[in-house]
Amino acid sequence: MAELLIFVGIFLLIVGIAIYSIVKRGLDLKKLAAEGTTTTGKIVAKEYRKVGKGRRSPILTYEFQDALGTLHRRTIHVATSVYEAHQPGGPIAVVYLPDRPQTNAARYMIEQIRGVAH
């Protein structure tokens, strides 16, 4: 019985963390859409990563500098069309929060959110 309770407790903790992460990212994206600053970043890597049984997901990694000149890097899963439209060394529009530049996203994602909000 105790083992079952431990298992259920761990399961609920993992589910809670996952829900928190999803909600937090959603709130961050909403804030980026309302208050974000746009800059031009650079694609530093693109690859396909295995995400399941035989499935591969297109991944882009970009870097950008905030207003203070600090370099930030983010790796994102993207649609195949977005993946194919970008090349290493090429530009990518990035939106970030000036007071928290580690909170950032590719601008096309923010434009999708703005489109849904209108």
Average of pLDDT values for 107-114? 86
Residue 90 pLDDT > 50, yes or no?
yes
Total domains in the chain come to 1
Residue 105 burial (CB count, 10 A): 21
Burial (CB count within 10 angstroms: exposed 0-12, middle 13-18, buried 19+), residue 59: middle
Query: How does strand 56-65 pair with strand 71-77?
Result: antiparallel
- Select the more confidently predicted residue: 115 or 101: 101
Q: Is 78 helix (H, G, I), strand (E, B) or coil?
A: coil
The residue range of the domain holding 60 is: 2-117
- Select the more confidently predicted residue: 117 or 47: 47
Q: What is the pLDDT of residues 23-63, one digit of tens each?
A: 787 788 889 999 999 999 999 999 999 988 889 999 999 99
Please tell me the distance from the alpha carbon of residue 77 to that of residue 59, in angstroms, as a whole number. 5
